[in-house]
Homo-oligomer: A and B are copies of this chain.
Amino acid sequence: MNPAAPRPEAPGAPEPSRPARPPHAVVELLERSRALTTPALRAAVGRLAPPMDTVAAYHFGWIDAQGRPTDADSGKAVRPALALLSAEAAGAAPEVGVPGAVAVELVHNFSLLHDDLMDGDEQRRHRDTVWKVHGPAQAILVGDALFALASEIILDGDDAHAARAARRLAAASRQLIDGQAQDIAFEHRERVTVAECLAMEGNKTGALLAFAASIGAVLGGADDALADALDAYGRHLGLAFQAVDDLLGIWGDPRSTGKLTWSDLRQRKKSLPVVAAMAAEGPAAARLTALLTADVKKSREEFEDFDEAEFAARAELIDEAGGRRWTADEARRQYDIAIDALESVTLPAATRRRLTELADFVVVRSK
């Protein structure tokens, strides 16, 4: 195969991009979630001491670097939507899930602020990152403040629910941090197994989606069986989501990802397509392994001097060794486990349908 061929449409490979326009029901769900969550999120961020409130507002895309109001893309609001559906799953009003939705957004954005600094990423959603605009100290401090704020918000209810909710938040946050630590460590290791990669992604992405999907139910007074089923749904949905993200991290279109081409390869990420390809048999896997093993020994500067063709060659070998196909299949497997997790519990029919539609949207399934 020719590395110069149009990448997303490579023969035999599943379409890795998410649909530009989600179905109507999902659009409505996400809009409702944003409408309920954003005012509470803005109020929470407004509690921060200056200049952290301004820096956070820039990060969330509410103002530009000069402090003028903007309407930048602030993400799809999948996590808040999960938190509100989760309250409905427990028979409560979606509003009951709002503190959970706010907490999950705060923790997610705490991790983005710190990760962008650690990874040296200068752009996120086509905008300069906080450390680039306001300096590393503000990225650290505002991240810390959002993390502390998440605990405050989740503890704002009555004692019994608050303690249960805060325990789940603390556990999910620590898994998230563990996942980031593993992700960074893997960049410097020659070999990472598929199991290690899945464990890392379960921490880095699965834990917070598990929290989002269960927190509304916890705040609504659900028993552990329901909360745990929703947690499992969110965790596997997170793994499916991350598998799709890993495909986009290599083959995604920079115009829609807002990142450089071959973004994850430039950072030497040991993402799922990479580790699956390295674990495969055959000449493509062997050539890939030889190249990536040598890459680990290079300095960051040497690595950044690579031209497009060198990354394209690696991407092509990953594809040829089956890493791309395996990852697309894994997204589907994790999606199926997520949906199955809901089978064991009683849910309002409309909530079950919405949870499924949201999962369909998150994971573009290969036909």
Enumerate chain A interface residues (CB-CB to B < 8 A).
48-52, 110, 114, 117-118, 136-137, 140-141, 143-145, 147-149, 151-152, 155, 159-160, 162-164, 166-167, 169-171, 173-174, 177-178, 180-182, 184-185
Cβ contact of A174, chosen from B110, B117, B152, B171, cutoff 8 A:
B152
Distance (whole angstroms) from the CB of A257 to the closest CB of chain B: 23
Q: What would 16 more interface pairs be, CB under 8 Å, given A117-B136, A151-B170?
A: A51-B185, A52-B178, A52-B181, A114-B141, A114-B144, A137-B184, A141-B177, A141-B184, A144-B144, A145-B177, A148-B173, A151-B151, A151-B169, A152-B174, A159-B164, A163-B166
A118 to B49, CA, bound (A): 18
Distance (whole angstroms) from the CB of A57 to the closest CB of chain B: 15
**CB pairs A–B below 8 angstroms (15 shown):** A50-B185, A51-B181, A110-B144, A114-B141, A117-B136, A136-B136, A141-B181, A141-B184, A144-B144, A148-B170, A148-B173, A151-B166, A151-B170, A162-B166, A163-B166
Distance (whole angstroms) from the CB of A289 to the closest CB of chain B: 24
Most buried by B among A117, A167, A184: A167
Contacts of A52 in B (CB 8 A): 177-178, 181
Closest residue on chain B to residue A165 by CB atoms: B163
Each complex incorporates copies of this chain amounting to 2
Distance (whole angstroms) from the CB of A54 to the closest CB of chain B: 11
Most buried by B among A52, A155, A167, A169: A155
Task: Flag if A178 contacts B114 (CB, 8 Å).
Answer: no
A160 to B159, CA, bound (A): 5
Task: Flag if B118 contacts A137 (CB, 8 Å).
Answer: yes
Closest residue on chain B to residue A140 by CB atoms: B114
A224 to B162, CA, bound (A): 18
Cβ contact of A149, chosen from B48, B155, B174, cutoff 8 A:
B174
Closest residue on chain B to residue A119 by CB atoms: B137
Distance (whole angstroms) from the CB of A173 to the closest CB of chain B: 4
Task: Flag if A118 contacts B136 (CB, 8 Å).
Answer: yes
Distance (whole angstroms) from the CB of A165 to the closest CB of chain B: 9
Closest residue on chain B to residue A137 by CB atoms: B118
Distance (whole angstroms) from the CB of A146 to the closest CB of chain B: 10
Contacts of A110 in B (CB 8 A): 144
Contacts of A173 in B (CB 8 A): 148, 151
A52 to B185, CA, bound (A): 10
Contacts of A177 in B (CB 8 A): 52, 141, 144-145, 148
Task: Flag if B182 contacts A49 (CB, 8 Å).
Answer: yes
Most buried by B among A52, A171, A177, A182: A177
A173 to B163, CA, bound (A): 17
Distance (whole angstroms) from the CB of A156 to the closest CB of chain B: 8
Contacts of A114 in B (CB 8 A): 140-141, 144
Across the A-B interface, the 10 shortest Cβ-Cβ residue pairs = A151-B170, A49-B178, A159-B163, A118-B137, A148-B174, A163-B163, A162-B163, A148-B173, A152-B170, A159-B160
Contacts of A171 in B (CB 8 A): 152
Contacts of A155 in B (CB 8 A): 163, 166-167, 170
A298 to B74, CA, bound (A): 37
Contacts of A148 in B (CB 8 A): 147, 170, 173-174, 177
